[in-house]
Chain A
Amino acid sequence: GDSVTQMEGPVTLSEEAFLTINCTYTATGYPSLFWYVQYPGEGLQLLLKATKADDKGSNKGFEATYRKETTSFHLEKGSVQVSDSAVYFCALSRNAGGTSYGKLTFGQGTILTVHP
């Protein structure tokens, strides 16, 4: 079945440091890939997405590129801020039909803490 694996956290960085959170996936076909962010006590917010190979999703300084050859979708940001502290989830969604259509498969989440 489909699966998503994220790097284990927690990740602790100083403000303005470079961030990478690794994400790899296993799926048949060509899924869409997403990064969601969850702030304490809240639901999930879409951070960025990519729907086909070599697409780059970007938002709020975060970027991720859909790499089909390595089945990866690593999240990066050049300079993190304290306000980026949250839990980040990598996820995939099947684009074809069948019982898995539209369902999101999540990675385990990575806790990011940014210190001033």
Chain B
Amino acid sequence: GAVVSQHPSWVICKSGTSVKIECRSLDFQATTMFWYRQFPKQSLMLMATSNEGSKATYEQGVEKDKFLINHASLTLSTLTVTSAHPEDSSFYICSARDLRGPQVPQHFGDGTRLSIL
């Protein structure tokens, strides 16, 4: 089945550091990937839609300069949390949409737990 790999799975770093999270589709091409943020015991909040070869589309209230998204190939999207602070600590999850359309579900990575000290 379709697999999405997300790396790293867990990162702890000091305040002010920039952190990059990778999302790879391993056995299919994904022109569109999605980045979500999940707070403890809450649902997923869509942050942005990452489109291969073009700028990401951010949801309302998400800071573009804080959360930089790059989707340079059909199998890789990256999320960089710039100058991270404790309030950015969260569980970040990516998903990749199969090219065959929305009736084929998105495939999710296992998430990245980010802790900023």
Contacts and interface: CB of A to CB of B under 8 A. Distances in A.
A and B held together in a complex: yes
B42 A34 contact: no
Interface of B: 4, 6, 32, 34, 41-44, 46, 49, 57, 93, 95, 97, 101-103, 105-111, 113
B6 A43 contact: yes
Interface of A: 32, 34, 36, 41-46, 49, 51, 89, 93-95, 99, 101-104, 106-109, 111
B93 A101 contact: no
Q: Chain A interface mostly helix, strand, loop or mixed?
A: strand
B113 A41 contact: yes
Contact of A103 (B41, B42, B49, B108): B49
B102 A111 contact: no
| In the A-B complex, the 10 residue pairs with the closest CB atoms | A43-B108, A44-B108, A43-B110, A93-B102, A102-B102, A43-B111, A108-B43, A51-B103, A106-B43, A109-B43
A108 B109 contact: no
Nearest to B32: A102
Nearest to A104: B106
